A = this chain, B = another copy of it.
């Protein structure tokens, strides 16, 4: 069996992309737009949460969504009755990268927004390694996925500021202990905020939306720290 030689090239291939993401973040800070990158497994409820969040927000707030999928525009069509949205389709790739965000932002018309949400590809692994120029990284963990997931997917939890525990309406039917999940996640990131939430029926959305509004206030006051990776 042929074995190829291992060649190691030392250049950081993501450096240029990270610098562009950093420029984008700075520009959005100056515009007062909080950029929120939302990560989760497939089917944890990212699209439903975003629709419920913008519906819950005061009507005066201006929001936009760039939604990523490997194929189809199903999520964008679901969101389009709630918020201006652009579908980003990766054609196979398992995560969003910054150039697609930049293209999506142009396609959205570069509007003046209070919140720009980036709904990532459903994948708890690879998206954690890519800076999309966001201020805030949010991870959804559905109660149906099991409370043992945080330590099994450490990078996604370690690089997120807050965890939304979604589908708490199903708690009576699934073996999921909210406190255990939070404790497990905090072994990975001690200061992780946690928001147990259900969209149908609505539960916990007030507290979740208050958190987002508070983070935007901090952005406007220059008190939002750089992402800590």
Residues of chain A whose beta carbon lies under 8 Å from any beta carbon of chain B = 1-4, 13, 16, 19-20, 41-44, 69-72, 74-75, 92, 94, 121-126, 142, 144-146, 148-149, 151-155, 167, 169-170, 173-174
Interface pair B146/A123, CB less than 8 Å apart: no
Q: Point out which of A43, A144, A145 has the most chain B C-beta atoms below 10 A from its C-beta.
A: A43
Chain B residues with CB under 8 Å of A170's CB are: 144, 170, 173-174
Secondary structure type dominating chain A contacts? loop
Instruction: Contacts A148-B74, A154-B71 given; indicate if A43 touches B125 (C-beta within 8 A).
Output: no
Chain B residues with CB under 8 Å of A16's CB are: 1-4
Chain B residues with CB under 8 Å of A124's CB are: 41-42, 122-123
> A125–B94 Cα gap in the complex (Å)?
6
Interface pair A123/B94, CB less than 8 Å apart: yes
